[in-house]
Amino acid sequence: MLVAGYDGDRPSRDVADFTARCREHYPQMFGDIAEHGEMLGGVVTYHQADSRRRDFHKLDRLPAGLVAAGDAVASFNPVYGQGMTSATLHASCLSKYLRSGPKPHDGPAHAYFDQVRVVVDAAWQISTTADIELPHVDGPYPPGYKVTKWFGDLLFRASLTDPVLNARLGRVTTMLDHPAALSRPGTLFRALRLGLLGGSRR
């Protein structure tokens, strides 16, 4: 099980602290497991100071025959569970790139990095939009942030009771769909109708 804290709130290696957080942060079952289950090892802590992306697609000069993938391209707040999906999608980009025809052995893999950029942008958008809302973060806020946040909150609230929106949001947060899918008219209007008028199906 994973517990997380931000800013000055640091989960420790102390088992009592871990158990208390499992109780506080999750449904009862998780607290029960942490309290009564057998610990297979000690509590391990991990500190991630930042989300980081390396924009290889912007480089004019690149070594030939060399690519980067996974966390070496972009690493995110682990709480959102995007890292392995991103790395897998980078592997798909590489597969597509390699299958797309013969490559000059002395040429940089610009086309590969152009595809990876789409994956990184999508994951980055989801992850940083959530992180920037944390109380101890004070920007910089991207252009249009207030509108995006307003709509995001509306969509999230509506998705708590509407199975259709819940499924669509879930497909984006698990990276099965691109975040742009949430701005399709059908989703926009459904979220507005349910979020503003309060109508929802269980």
Residue ranges binding ligand FAD (CB under 6 A) = 46, 70-72, 75, 78, 81-85, 87
User: Do residues 158 and 168 make contact, with C-beta atoms less than 8 angstroms apart?
Assistant: no
| Residue 193 C-beta: closest distance to ligand FAD, Å | 33
Which C-beta is closer to ligand FAD: that of 82 or that of 159?
82
Question: How many helices and strands in the chain, by DSSP H and E?
Answer: 7, 2
| Residue 36 C-beta: closest distance to ligand FAD, Å | 24
Instruction: Give the whole-angstrom CA distance, residue 157 versus residue 183.
Output: 16
Rg over alpha carbons for the chain, rounded to the nearest Å, is 21
| Residue 182 C-beta: closest distance to ligand FAD, Å | 20
Which C-beta is closer to ligand FAD: that of 85 or that of 173?
85
Which C-beta is closer to ligand FAD: that of 85 or that of 161?
85
DSSP state of 37: S
Which C-beta is closer to ligand FAD: that of 45 or that of 183?
45
What 3-state class would DSSP assign to 88?
A: helix
DSSP E strands in the chain: the ranges are 52-53, 74-75
| Residue 90 C-beta: closest distance to ligand FAD, Å | 8
Distances (CA, A) of 121 to 75, 101, 126, 170, 196: 12, 26, 9, 18, 29
Residues for the chain: how many in total?
202
Which C-beta is closer to ligand FAD: that of 52 or that of 96?
52
DSSP state of 52: E
